[in-house]
Amino acid sequence: MFTGIVEEVGTVRAVRRRTDGATVAVACATVVADARLGDSINVNGCCLTVTRLLDGEDGADGAAGGFGADLMGETLDRTALGRLVPGAPVNLERALRADARLGGHLVSGHVDAVGQVLAVEPHADWTEMTVSLPASLSPYVVPKGSITVDGTSLTVMAVDDGRFRVGLIPHTLTATVLGSRAAGDEVNLETDVVAKYVERMLRGGVATPYHQEP
């Protein structure tokens, strides 16, 4: 699990395509400071498994240069990671520690869909971003609720027909890749996992041990 609080912006150093997948190498420092093989790292909202630890020769300064991960065909097809190229910045977050503060909201790192940035409107002290909302995700997105955009936990300002709006403070613009997003860019979306479980239980009429007949 993650929180949607981006720890670091890394840089894609290499993407190697295979028949039904790919490998990606990401240069970074903070998220690999205590990383081991098999650990989970959230990359632009997608949970990836560390399969290789890179040294400085792989594209970054210092003893720990970053990490490598495998991308399945499913990941390439259903997320925006399939469009990564060398030099692209990516949001990074380590898995949540059980004794850490939950600063954002519960994020699984399982991308629900890919949205498209429709508009970016700067204001005096903040920026408004409008993103397309696939119809399949619409039931789980509500005003003042939480949504993850490229791995960043954000509060929904408004939901319209086929789109939603979020506000980005200056820190978010400088500390995440959202500051470089423009109209037409694709972004990974993950809705609130709690809403999905509640919806499934209500739709299926699942009985719970806490419900007692009067």
Instruction: Please write the tens of the pLDDT for every residue from 165-205.
Output: 999 999 999 999 999 999 999 999 999 888 888 887 787 76
pLDDT of residue 56: 61
Question: Worst-scoring range by mean pLDDT, 95-104, 114-123, 139-148?
Answer: 95-104
Residue closest to 21 by CA, chosen among 94, 85, 82, 107: 82
Residues 84 and 153 reside in one and the same domain: no
Cα separation, 131 vs 97, whole angstroms: 30
Instruction: Please write the tens of the pLDDT for every residue from 46-88.
Output: 999 999 999 865 544 444 599 999 999 999 999 999 999 999 9
Residues 130 and 159 reside in one and the same domain: yes
For residue 11, what pLDDT band results from cuts at 50, 70 and 90?
A: very high
Segment 69-73 long-range contacts (CB within 8 Å, at least 24 positions apart): 69/23, 69/24, 69/26, 69/41, 69/43, 70/21, 70/22, 70/23, 71/21, 71/22, 71/23, 71/24, 72/20, 72/21, 73/20, 73/21
pLDDT of residue 207: 64
DSSP assignment, residue 104? S
Q: Looking at the predicted structure, is the pLDDT value of residue 206 above 70?
A: no
Residues 122 and 160 reside in one and the same domain: yes
Cα separation, 204 vs 16, whole angstroms: 43
Does residue 108 form part of some domain? Answer: no
Residues 162 and 190 reside in one and the same domain: yes
pLDDT of residue 191: 95
User: How many independent structural domains does the chain possess?
Assistant: 2
Three-state secondary-structure class, residue 91: strand
Cα separation, 128 vs 182, whole angstroms: 11
**Torsional class of 150: left (φ above 0), alpha (ψ -120 to 50), beta (otherwise):** left
Share the mean pLDDT of the chain.
Answer: 91
pLDDT of residue 57: 54
For residue 12, what pLDDT band results from cuts at 50, 70 and 90?
A: very high
Residues 35 and 79 reside in one and the same domain: yes
Q: Which domain holds residue 191?
A: 113-200
Q: Looking at the predicted structure, is the pLDDT value of residue 106 above 50?
A: yes
> Which pTM does this prediction carry?
0.89
Question: Is 121 buried (19+), middle (13-18) or exposed (0-12) by CB count in 10 A?
Answer: exposed
Identify whether the C-beta of residue 128 lies closer than 8 Å to the C-beta of residue 121: yes
Cα separation, 31 vs 47, whole angstroms: 13
DSSP assignment, residue 63? S
User: Pick from 94, 126, 145: which residue ends a domain?
Assistant: 94
